[in-house]
Structure 1
Amino acid sequence: MRSDYWDQPAFETIRPRRLLAPVVFNSPHSGRVYPERFLAMTRLDKLSIRQSEDAYVDELFARAPHLGAPLLRAHFPRAYLDVNREPWELDPTMFHEPLSDRFNTTSPRVAAGLGTLARVVAENKPIYRDRLTLEDARMRIEGIYHPYHAALQKLLSEAISAFGVALLIDCHSMPRITRTSERAAPDIVLGDRYGTTCAPALVDLVETVFTAAGLRVARNRPYAGGFCTRSYGRPQHGVHALQIEISRHLYMNEVTLAKSLNFDAVRGVVERLVMALIGLDLVNLVGQNLPEEREAAE
């Protein structure tokens, strides 16, 4: 089966002219290039299908390459392929053919309809009119998912080679969280798998930048970090990973997906964060603050 992105890149790596820091920024869910074949397969209109996007997150972090750190960003949308999942985390009800034991068909993410190929978008709206073929899944996973992760691993390996340490910032957005207790709902959620994927000093610094801007920050609840954070974050081997979730209400209309008047202000806060991370002496900082390796809670 020919790739849906045969005539355009499915993702891109934007490199700095000169690598100044061992920080890698990853925006896996901000893609908004919807292939015509995919749109013909969905029962949703062009706005509804976009409800799973981390819309404009790549633009919020777009200054990173200009400041000395690479940015990897998807052009394919999350509704089409989710690279923040295991490679073969698939829902058997979505396919004509039966799925063998080699596929992970029983994860909580699959049960929620949010596997590597999602069954639903936000608000539990089904995506597809009909069942898919396994050939379609292979085209997306072997043709896009694996190359995407190879590109991400290459960036982290280059950082390790140049600096002896690497920091992955996994960039996301989240729906506005409604207040559920006496504690105010957070604007930002930082996920380090409960202290296992990133040095505490790095998480503290990121929190300080956001709180200095007047934003409320939570850690690991309700987002502790997905597949990328969990898989690449190995502080004991010099690779730290931190997931950042930015509430969409801060910079956009969550219904129409239009940028709000506050977009530039939020982008400015993110730019200050990028500058702070790039300006760090990571080798000395994380060398004194390696978190103990322990099993991360889900």
Structure 2
Amino acid sequence: MTSSVSPLVRYLPGHTALVLDSPHSGTRYPDDFAFAGELATLRRTEDTHVDKLYDFAPALGVGWVEAFFPRSYLDANRDTTEVDVSLFGETWPHAVSEDPRVMGKVRLGKGLIWRTTDDGAAIYTRKLTVAEVQARIAQCWQPYHAAVAQAIDAAHAKHGYSIHINCHSMPAIASGNATDFPGEAHADFVVGDRDGSTAAASMSRLVCEHLKGLGYSVAYNHPYKGVELVRRYGAPQQHRHSIQLEINRKLYMDEKTLEINTGFAPLQTSLQSLVQQLLATDPRALPA
């Protein structure tokens, strides 16, 4: 059954303790975006095909939330205070974060509303209005977060615990404007729990070890620790576990053409194995 509070957000309720969300795989570019440059450049900022990689999950009773809007239009994995005020031709009337760690990403052009692509290309040659960004928040950010919160609350209420995997992909080599480690070659997977604050160490360890057991290289909290969607909804002391899972795109696609390659099917089989493991796991029974 599909439940949706926005035409730009898909929510498939589940009946298990597991919830997956994909905030960056959206490909519907709204008419009011009015971006500069080529669409192909923006397409390479997407978490391309992540929604397809996990398309088996709803049939297993897993809660699923997916953004149809692109991350370059609005990044649902950022807080609404992570705003680059230089984008506006007028005063932004709402709160702006003063956290230097958060605002470091904003300075890279990767706030709530992106200013540049991963390669540093400007997305706009115009100033944005307060009204249009407020509309994006109302039509994209708010319904997306409402769906994730609803899915996790439902899972927790039914089972006494919840496991939330925030699903992403990453380039094989970090771009210059994407992270604090430009040029770094990424592992096959990066598991992030914000240094143990959004999931129990035992849960994150289970995910890491399961993937390593399948033959993948796995990094933990580097270079991606997890951002807003795990920070906001992860509370391991309340048996609410949220983990950000990054997949190296070289495993399943051509990063230049965006075409799926022969690695897609075996990778999806591995993800099915991980999901089955999570469905069989009660985090309360794991050793500390």
TM-score past 0.5 threshold: yes
Aligned to 1:135, the other structure's residue is in SS state helix
Q: Distance in 1 between matches of 2:273 and 2:37?
A: 38
2:155/2:162 contact within 8 Å kept = yes
The one-letter amino acid of 2:148's match is L
Out of 151, 154, 160, the residue aligned to residue 155 of structure 1 is 151
2:173/2:185 contact within 8 Å kept = no
Please say if 1:119 is aligned against 2:134. no
Q: Identify the residue that residue 220 of structure 1 maps to in structure 2.
A: 221
Q: Distance in 2 between matches of 1:157 and 1:209?
A: 26
Task: Calculate the TM-score normalised by the size of structure 1.
Answer: 0.86
1:189/1:219 contact within 8 Å kept = yes
Q: Identify the residue that residue 12 of structure 1 maps to in structure 2.
A: 10
Q: Distance in 2 between matches of 1:266 and 1:236?
A: 32
The one-letter amino acid of 2:267's match is V
Q: Identify the residue that residue 59 of structure 1 maps to in structure 2.
A: 52
Q: Identify the residue that residue 177 of structure 2 maps to in structure 1.
A: none
State the Cα distance separating 1:205 from its structure 2 match. 1.7
State the Cα distance separating 1:26 from its structure 2 match. 0.8
Q: Identify the residue that residue 71 of structure 1 maps to in structure 2.
A: 64
State the Cα distance separating 1:184 from its structure 2 match. 7.9
Question: Structure 1 residues 135 and 185 mapped into 2: Cα distance closer, same or farther (>3 Å)?
Answer: closer
State the Cα distance separating 1:88 from its structure 2 match. 3.0
Q: Identify the residue that residue 3 of structure 2 maps to in structure 1.
A: none
Aligned to 1:47, the other structure's residue is in SS state helix
Aligned to 2:119, the other structure's residue is in SS state helix
Q: How does 1:75-94 map to 2 (within 5 A)?
A: 75-94=68-87
Q: How many pairs were matched up?
A: 272
2:46/2:71 contact within 8 Å kept = yes
The one-letter amino acid of 1:25's match is L
Q: Distance in 2 between matches of 1:138 and 1:100?
A: 10
Q: Distance in 2 between matches of 1:281 and 1:118?
A: 38
State the Cα distance separating 1:122 from its structure 2 match. 1.6
Q: Identify the residue that residue 110 of structure 1 maps to in structure 2.
A: 106
Q: Distance in 1 between matches of 2:143 and 2:186?
A: 37
1:47/1:256 contact within 8 Å kept = no
Q: How does 1:159-174 map to 2 (within 5 A)?
A: 159-174=155-170
Q: Distance in 1 between matches of 2:54 and 2:151?
A: 16
Q: Distance in 1 between matches of 2:65 and 2:7?
A: 12
State the Cα distance separating 1:108 from its structure 2 match. 1.1
Aligned to 1:121, the other structure's residue is in SS state coil
State the Cα distance separating 1:261 from its structure 2 match. 1.4
Aligned to 1:190, the other structure's residue is in SS state strand
The one-letter amino acid of 2:243's match is L
Question: Structure 1 residues 189 and 118 mapped into 2: Cα distance closer, same or farther (>3 Å)?
Answer: same
Task: Calculate the TM-score normalised by the size of structure 2.
Answer: 0.89
Q: Identify the residue that residue 22 of structure 1 maps to in structure 2.
A: 17
The one-letter amino acid of 1:75's match is F
Gaps of 5+ in 2: 1-5, 175-180
Gaps of 5+ in 1: 1-7, 290-298
State the Cα distance separating 1:185 from its structure 2 match. 4.6
The one-letter amino acid of 1:217's match is V
Which contiguous aligned blocks of 4+ residues in structure 1 show a shift greater than 6 angstroms?
none
Out of 28, 32, 36, the residue aligned to residue 37 of structure 1 is 32
Q: Distance in 1 between matches of 2:194 and 2:13?
A: 28
Q: Identify the residue that residue 178 of structure 2 maps to in structure 1.
A: none
State the Cα distance separating 1:15 from its structure 2 match. 2.9
Q: Identify the residue that residue 275 of structure 2 maps to in structure 1.
A: 274
The one-letter amino acid of 1:113's match is G
The one-letter amino acid of 1:276's match is Q
Q: Distance in 1 between matches of 2:148 and 2:241?
A: 13
Q: Deviation string for 1:162-206 (max 9, x for gaps)?
A: 01111110000011137x9xx985111000111221112221221
Q: Deviation string for 1:242-287 (max 9, x for gaps)?
A: 01000011111111111111111111111111111112233423xx
Q: Distance in 2 between matches of 1:209 and 1:56?
A: 22
Q: Distance in 1 between matches of 2:136 and 2:31?
A: 15
Q: Deviation string for 1:16-52 (max 9, x for gaps)?
A: 4xx1x211101101111112332xx111212101121
1:253/1:259 contact within 8 Å kept = yes
2:165/2:244 contact within 8 Å kept = yes
